[in-house]
Amino acid sequence: MENPKNDWPAEPGGTQGQNFSSFFFNLSVRKIAIAGICGALGLVLAFTPLGLIPVPNLSGAATTLHIPAIVAGVFAGPIVGAFTGLILAISSWILYAGSFLAFSGGNLFVALLSAFLPRILIGVFAYYVFRPFRSHVLGAVLASLVGTLTNSVGVLGILYLFGDPAMRPALVPIILLNPWVEIAFALIVLVPLVLALRRILPDVINR
């Protein structure tokens, strides 16, 4: 076993200290870059038709907005995943606050809870299910599944349980159909991305 003292410089500013600080600086830059890219992609999806997948129910569309949060969580960790999910939540609230309030029966707390909490947790949960299986394609599959269900079932489930009871019949067909469409699109994006990066940048996947 190596001597722990060898991991630290004998005096401030030593070569090992510079390498140690450089490692964490570069890691932070990588995470910031991923956060910026995924956050920007989330905004593009939110404010363009690219974020909507037509489906035959009352909602009219499933969404791809959760995918950047899953990607951010998997490749940059739970904090960046949560930050990207927050951007998604803010965008959703700006666009659909009226719908959240309608399904919540005008209860602002329930509307905000359903709009924000599940979205913030997308990347967090995706990260923690991906990590144990990151060396296998199963990791990407589980991250897609859990991240998507956190979004879909989380948002709709909160509205169903705590929102306006009169709106529950309208939520049922959305709950039954939308998550499967959204899971499929998450798989289409995440699985090839993980497989490609495992070949090109294995340290990003395996760290």
Among the listed residues 180, 194, 193, the one whose alpha carbon sits nearest the alpha carbon of residue 63: 180
d(CA 21, CA 15): 10
pLDDT at 27: 52
Q: What is the pLDDT of residues 104-130, one digit of tens each?
A: 999 999 999 999 999 999 999 999 999
Share of the chain above pLDDT 90, in %: 46
Q: What is the pLDDT of residues 46-96, one digit of tens each?
A: 888 887 777 776 666 778 889 999 999 998 899 999 999 999 999 999 988
SS3 string of 112-137? HHHHHHHHHHHHHHHHHHHHHHCCCH
Tokens of 20: 């140690």
Supply angle C-alpha 74, 77, 81, rounded to 5. Answer: 80
Q: What is the pLDDT of residues 30-46, one digit of tens each?
A: 788 888 888 888 888 88
- Assign domain 15-206 one CATH number from 3.30.465.10, 1.10.1760.20, 1.10.1060.10, 1.10.150.120: 1.10.1760.20
Is residue 79 within 8 Å of 35, Cβ to Cβ? no
d(CA 100, CA 114): 8
Tokens of 125: 């949960």
Among the listed residues 166, 168, 184, 181, the one whose alpha carbon sits nearest the alpha carbon of residue 61: 181
